[in-house]
Amino acid sequence: MNSTHDYSTLTCCCTLEWLDRNGTVKRTVRTKTGIVTLVRNEFRDLFITVASKETNQKLLLKGVVIHKKFASEGKATLKFSDLLVNLFLSNAPPTQLTMFLKALFVKMTNSLSSPKVPIRDKLLSVRDQSVQDVSPLSSKDVQRFKNSQSSQDDSKKRLREEESKGSQGSQKKICLQSLGKLTKEQQEVLDAVMSGANVFFTGSAGTGKSFLLQHLINSLRPDVTCATASTGSAACLIGGTTLHAFAGIGDGEATVERCLQLAKRPVSLQNWRKCKHLIIDEISMVESSYFQKLERIARELRSFEKPFGGIQLIVCGDFLQLPPVSKSKNKFCFMSEAWQSCHFSTFYLQEVHRQSDSNFVSILNSVRLGSLNDEMVETLRNTETQMIENKGVLATRLCCHTKEAKMINDSNLEKLSGESKTYEAVDEPSSASRTLDDCTPVESKLTLKIGAQVMLLKNVSVSQGLVNGARGVVARFEKGAPVVEFLCGASYTVKAEKWPVKTPNGGVVSRRQLPLRLAWAFSIHKSQGLTLDCVEMALEKTFEAGQAYVALSRAKSLESMRVINFNAKQVWADQDVLEFYRGIASDANRRDLMAPRKIGKSFAPQKKKVTKSFKHIPLVSIS
């Protein structure tokens, strides 16, 4: 994708089918890398060309039906009913495909309202039959398209007539609103990724790291892009799988030789060989020795001596959030040789999107660095007596241990009188249940009663506030389905939703379940990556650096949370991580906003290597 947003060309897998009048396929041509381009001739007729080693076709865009239902998976079909040709596009970067289809649809619609050159003039023309690329989609094009869509003018009717031979789907308006827009700093990361560099981007909680990852995933070819995260819940948020499931070396505790044997099993071997872009979210929880082993395995299995066997690494996370589960002194993956060998282009996102109150953002940034002043401590303490409950929705308790959270949910559900209803997930295939337990946020069995505190786990209607993380309470059951009253004011009869999960070997397994989870309590570890509506926490039992920061930064505002028995000692940052971030800052020869600290320890970031790849000022606080 280039920065001028010229979406008139697409590279993807193309299958062309020529049909006879009865719809029987006469000939098929398939190409793995076809260049599909939107062009026009001197009479302004639109065509699609498909160019590859195997074929070179030019198809007139007339009587075309567009099936775009699976565009988000990189697939679409164009049916040229006048020419009796079908063009199947697959394995396209989803964002590019969506934008290509939009450009196609807008240009087609606009061309219908343009004056036509009479056929006689065309036949008599002495000009050659050359074509040229269409101009990139301009705001003028889009405005003209929107006008023609809203006013029921002739062009729209004619387009409908042209498309009426096709299915209902083709008549749907193509929505011109794309996914949420990237900010400038996020766009810079996307550009670096598209240039092929290994990229590490970091930033405090809520700076849109996972949001940006979703854009990156949609911009890369699906068949060679492996989207992973260090934990199942983080993987769910980006629609990927766990890094462990991808790598196929278990917990990585075995020797390199044994890990290699494990990774050579057919499924893992195939993953490693076909992967060109490896994405890892919540990198802070990936253990150094595990990362080191992955690098070695990738090189061996791909028989290529470049770091990670030439795979492009795109990693993100915040090392000042949860650390890896490890007792090792050098537990963070940035301490490994493998990390150094990747020569990451490093970016530091600074704009916080989760919270809008600048005072709260600056308190969170100080919590992140483990250095709160008295005023900040006081502000957090003052939240203890706040009433944040509303409309029957109680605050979600964030617990330091998973067991504690489970106990709170079970006992509160038990206490409710009234009939309980249990919803069993439908897993396809049923043998994938364990993977689906790990990689979807929904449980295989969900028990609810009237009065149960719940959280929504899907974006059902963003405009109504029915988004992932929205808090509510079960008000009643209607025809067996729970009706939930949400804090945002909406009442919603919850329907089962589907969670497709890509397996590392390219297949898809799925779970259908109600998008709800009991929400009296969550563990802090399970809440990582989430944005929560109404939270309460007691942080006395925190046992990891960054744990209190993760808990506090889930809240959207100071007014929507309550901290019980807060004490500045509950907040601390890992010194190695602070040093790592400080190292990046000084390497970049930029202003470092952290107070200098003297740390006597063996690890020192390899400054020269980081300097080379450094791209952004690593500010560690926000003014």
Known binding-site residue numbers for ATP? 203-210
- Give CA–CA dist 407/474, Å, rounded: 20
Which partner in ligand ATP, Mg ion, none is near 206 (CB below 5 to 8 A by kind)? ligand ATP
Q: Which of 557, 521, 524, 554 lies closest to 541 in space, CA to CA?
A: 524
> Please, which residue, 234 or 494, has the CB nearer to Mg ion?
234
- Give CA–CA dist 296/300, Å, rounded: 6
Near ligand ATP in 351-410, by CB under 6 A: 353-354
What single letter denotes the amino acid at residue 342? C
> Please, which residue, 215 or 302, has the CB nearer to ligand ATP?
215
Asked if residue 98 binds ligand ATP (CB under 6 A), the reply is no
- Pair of tokens at residue 254: 């075995």
Q: Identify the residue among 268, 440, 531, 547 touching ligand ATP (CB under 6 A).
A: 531
Q: What is the DSSP string of 59-106?
A: EE-SSEEEE-TTGGGT-EEEEETTTTEEEEEES--HHHHHHHHHHHHH
Could you tell me whether strands 9-19 and 85-90 are parallel, antiparallel, or unpaired per DSSP bridges?
antiparallel
> How many CB atoms sit inside 10 A of residue 439's CB?
24
> Please, which residue, 210 or 383, has the CB nearer to Mg ion?
210
Nearest approach in angstroms of CB 581 to ligand ATP is 15
Of the candidate spans 14-22, 203-211, 406-414, 572-580, the one that interacts with ligand ATP by CB under 6 A turns out to be 203-211
Q: What is the DSSP letter of 324?
A: P
Of the candidate spans 168-176, 353-361, 524-532, 602-610, the one that interacts with Mg ion by CB under 5 A turns out to be 524-532
Q: Which of 222, 220, 240 lies closest to 230 in space, CA to CA?
A: 240
Could you tell me whether strands 508-513 and 561-564 are parallel, antiparallel, or unpaired per DSSP bridges?
unpaired
Near ligand ATP in 315-344, by CB under 6 A: 318
- Pair of tokens at residue 421: 């209803």
Near ligand ATP in 419-478, by CB under 6 A: none
Binding mask 200-219 for Mg ion (x = CB under 5 A): ---------xx---------
3-class secondary structure, 392:
coil
> Please, which residue, 90 or 523, has the CB nearer to Mg ion?
523
| Per-position b or e across 556-575, b if 16+ CB within 10 A of its CB | bebebbbbeebebebbbbbe
> Please, which residue, 110 or 233, has the CB nearer to Mg ion?
233
Which partner in Mg ion, ligand ATP, none is near 354 (CB below 5 to 8 A by kind)? ligand ATP
Q: Which residue has the tokens 């071997």?
A: 269
Radius of gyration of the chain from Cα atoms? 27
> Burial, 345: exposed, middle or buried (Cβ in 10 Å; 0-12, 13-18, 19+)?
buried
Count, residues near Mg ion per rule CB under 5 A: 3
Q: Identify the residue among 180, 392, 489, 506 touching ligand ATP (CB under 6 A).
A: 180
Q: Identify the residue among 105, 201, 211, 423 touching ligand ATP (CB under 6 A).
A: 211
Nearest approach in angstroms of CB 201 to Mg ion is 11
Of the candidate spans 177-185, 250-258, 416-424, 536-544, the one that interacts with ligand ATP by CB under 6 A turns out to be 177-185
- Pair of tokens at residue 332: 């963070």
Asked if residue 529 binds Mg ion (CB under 5 A), the reply is yes
Q: Identify the residue among 60, 142, 182, 416 touching ligand ATP (CB under 6 A).
A: 182
> Burial, 239: exposed, middle or buried (Cβ in 10 Å; 0-12, 13-18, 19+)?
middle
What single letter denotes the amino acid at residue 217? I
Near ligand ATP in 542-571, by CB under 6 A: 553
Nearest approach in angstroms of CB 174 to ligand ATP is 22
Which residue number is nearest to Mg ion in terms of Cβ? 210
Nearest approach in angstroms of CB 316 to ligand ATP is 8
Count, residues near ligand ATP per rule CB under 6 A: 19
- Give CA–CA dist 137/4, Å, rounded: 10
Q: How far is CA 221 from CA 82, 226, 227, in A?
A: 31, 10, 11
Q: Identify the residue among 9, 207, 383, 560 touching ligand ATP (CB under 6 A).
A: 207
Nearest approach in angstroms of CB 209 to Mg ion is 5
> Please, which residue, 88 or 348, has the CB nearer to ligand ATP?
348
Which partner in Mg ion, ligand ATP, none is near 208 (CB below 5 to 8 A by kind)? ligand ATP
- Give CA–CA dist 445/396, Å, rounded: 20
Show Cβ contacts of residue 18 under 8 Å, excluding neighbours closer than 6 positions: 25, 26, 27, 28, 84, 85
Q: Identify the residue among 183, 379, 390, 447 touching ligand ATP (CB under 6 A).
A: 183
- Give CA–CA dist 468/533, Å, rounded: 10
- Give CA–CA dist 430/512, Å, rounded: 11
Which partner in Mg ion, ligand ATP, none is near 34 (CB below 5 to 8 A by kind)? none
Nearest approach in angstroms of CB 490 to ligand ATP is 17
Which partner in Mg ion, ligand ATP, none is near 211 (CB below 5 to 8 A by kind)? ligand ATP
> Please, which residue, 104 or 577, has the CB nearer to Mg ion?
577
> Please, which residue, 80 or 549, has the CB nearer to ligand ATP?
549
Which partner in Mg ion, ligand ATP, none is near 581 (CB below 5 to 8 A by kind)? none
Nearest approach in angstroms of CB 231 to ligand ATP is 11
Of the candidate spans 201-209, 260-268, 363-371, 559-567, the one that interacts with ligand ATP by CB under 6 A turns out to be 201-209
Helix, strand, coil shares of the chain, percent, nearest 5, are 35, 25, 40
> Please, which residue, 438 or 485, has the CB nearer to Mg ion?
438
- Give CA–CA dist 265/223, Å, rounded: 19
Binding site for Mg ion (CB under 5 A): 209-210, 529
Positions touching ligand ATP (CB under 6 A) are: 180-183, 186, 203, 205-211, 318, 353-354, 529, 531, 553
